[in-house]
Structure 1
Amino acid sequence: GAYISESAEIAFRTALRAHKKGYQVNVFLYLDGVWVAHIKGDKNFNNPGDWLKRVIRKGINVCMCHRCSSARDLVDGDYIEGVKPLGTYELVGMLRASDKVLTFGG
């Protein structure tokens, strides 16, 4: 494939499956994971951005680390609509409110 890792696709497939089974799902993009939300244009092959759009269309809450996106010069308008920038304090709140936490990637 065109990517080093399939972590994003696996994470989004897992999120969609859990959502379909009735679980409340939150996705938080962190560190280089924020690049998944970067808008560059449609691709004619399977890519993480398309998976992310599917997740958002299903009503799954998708957030990304504000500091991580700022460090990579991703500003409002550079990322897929529906992704919400959050601080790490809000991430802590998401984690505390969760029954289960899954992590994907390095």
Structure 2
Amino acid sequence: NIHEKFSNRLLGVILGSALFYMIYLIVPARYYFLIGPVGGMCLGLCSKYTYKTVLNCFGALALAASMYGIGNAVLLRIFDTLAGIFGALLFFYLYDRFILHKFLPNRSYVSKKEK
């Protein structure tokens, strides 16, 4: 379900960014380099997409925080995720409406609307 995956991704990125921000403020600066790898190791223990997205933020934000600062890195991560979700939804609907219906009228699958 595309809507469920996008909502889980957005929720995971917001939670992961907030959690990373709190950890970044608590951990001494000399240990910042460990936040990304520890998040990556914990990522392997997760089975749900939302939790994987939360921990995936750690590696990305650890690198971005060193370049943009913690506040800008968190805002950029959330904004980029929103832009990616919007772009993917737009592509999905345009592709489904125009390409699949116009060029492939005899599809082998039945969409939810046709059931």
| TM-score (normalised: structure 1) | 0.28
Q: Which has the larger radius of gyration?
A: 2
Higher strand share: 1
TM-score by length of 2: 0.26
* Structure ranking higher in helix proportion: 2
